[in-house]
Structure 1
């Protein structure tokens, strides 16, 4: 038997319990399992700057971060924290969230109004949607009128009449 084999057989494994301030003897398997769990836990906390435990004190970790003297605030920020940059001078995360919620509400309202206008057009003059589609494709009014089988002036009169009806129905919106 070599010195190395003798040393590994006689090596005692123990785990420190911070709550009782004592060392508990354990088997090699228990020690490895303990080290693996608490090591990965500590590493995750260190990745988020929540643990400043030095290498010499890793044995001290028991995953009770709330009572640990090496605990720090990390990358988690309070809603009262003020951000200062070129776009948002002196804005808190809460104000940022509130402003985005307002934008979202406006977007939803605009989308609902757009859907309501489209349904109204479908009821009043369904051919206008196909005219709009053809205009988006780059066709001229003359080409559209020819495709629909009507004079260009009739097409323009119907488009203008439909636009007037929409403005009457939805006066608060710039249609």
Structure 2
């Protein structure tokens, strides 16, 4: 049985090599799928005669085009008929990061102060957040319910005065 050979072009070596049909198909499978995607978006204008030269390095290819890729500041019309750009929708990450860091520092300070005022009380607030009743929290902490409530009220009052 005669084996059928095909050629693969290697642009980096500027030459073609002979391979089996199976190796050829495996080599070009992903390349062809990628090229078709780029063509569908208008980013590749490679003629069919030159498909064999495609190696998915579009940025250095002479057939590369901008296609449907637009700038972030390119205006588009939204549902209400107003013009806006993607740049307008982007969140200022620096401001968000600073706010998150500030919130984190505040939370750490609050928890530290809570622990100074009444050791273990933060856990009681966590349990309340989880939906446990005051009676269940008091049982878990092994203290009377009225003691729990007075400690929580004391901590809340002091923290409100000091931090807010």
TM-score normalised over the length of structure 1: 0.55
Residue of structure 2 equivalent to 1:169: 162
**Structure 1 portions without partners, runs of 5+:** 18-23
Please name the residue that 1:58 is paired with.
51
**Alignment partners' CA distance in 1, 2:94 and 2:119:** 35
- What corresponds to 1:107 in structure 2? 100
Give the paired residue count. 152
Matched, 1:133 2:123: no
Pair 83,106 (structure 1): closer, same or farther in 2 beyond 3 Å: farther
Which one has the largest radius of gyration?
A: 1
Matches within 5 A, 1:22-171: 28=18, 43-48=33-38, 49=41, 50-58=43-51, 66=60, 68=62, 70-74=63-67, 76-86=69-79, 90-92=84-86, 94-136=87-129, 137-141=131-135, 144=138, 148-150=142-144, 152=146, 154-171=147-164
Asked if structure 2 preserves the Cα contact closer than 8 Å seen for 1:45 and 1:51, the reply is: yes
C-alpha RMSD of matched pairs (Å): 4.7
Structure 2 segments unaligned to the other structure (5+ residues): none
The structural deviation recorded for 1:98 is 3.8
CA drift at 1:116: 2.0
Question: 1:65, 1:71 within 8 Å by CA — same for their partners in 2?
Answer: yes
Distance in 1 (alpha carbons) for counterparts of 2:79 and 2:140: 54
Distance 1:37 1:51, change over 3 A: farther
Q: Flag the 1:160–1:52 CA change in 2: closer, same or farther, 3 A.
A: same
SS, match of residue 51 in structure 1: coil
